[in-house]
Amino acid sequence: MTRGMMTPVREAEQDRFTVETERFRRELLVHCYRMVGSAHDAEDLVQETYLRAWRSYAGFEGRASVRSWLYRIATNVCLTALERRGKRVLPSDLGGPHDGPDRPPVQVAPGEVSWLEPLPDRWVAPATDDPAEAVVARESLRLALVASLQHLPARQRAILILREVLAFSANETAAVLGTTTAAVKSGLQRARARLHELAPEPGELLEPADERARALLDGYIAAFERADAGMLERVLRTDATLEATPFREWYAGRVRCVHLLDEYVLGVPGDWRMIATTANGQPAAAVYHRRRAHGIVVLDATVTGVSRVVEFHDPSLVALFGFPDVLPVRTNLRG
Check pLDDT > 70 for residue 148.
yes
Q: How confident is the model at residue 15 (pLDDT cuts 50, 70, 90)?
A: confident
Per-residue pLDDT reduced to its tens digit, 180-226: 999 999 999 999 999 888 866 655 899 999 999 999 999 999 999 99
- pLDDT higher than threshold 60 for residue 333: no
Burial class (CB in 10 A: 0-12, 13-18, 19+), 172: buried
Overall pTM surpassing 0.85 (yes/no): yes
Contact 33, 39 (CB under 8 A): yes
Ranges of each domain in the chain: 1-85, 211-320
Over residues 35-61, the pLDDT tens digits come to: 999 999 999 999 999 999 999 998 887
Class of the CATH domain delimited by 1-85:
mainly alpha
Q: How far apart, in whole angstroms, are the C-alpha atoms of residue 72 and residue 57?
A: 13
Q: Which residues neighbour 223 within 8 Å (Cβ) at sequence distance 6 or greater?
A: 229, 231, 232, 235, 266
Q: 114 falls in which pLDDT band (50, 70, 90)?
A: very high
Whether the Cβ atoms of residue 291 and residue 274 lie closer than 8 Å to each other: no
What's the pLDDT band for 335 if we cut at 50, 70, 90? very low
pLDDT band at 136 (very low <50, low <70, confident <90, very high): low
pLDDT at 1: 47
- Mean of pLDDT values over 123-135: 67
What's the CATH architecture for 211-320? Answer: Roll (3.10)
- Is pLDDT of 110 > 60? yes
pLDDT score of 129: 58
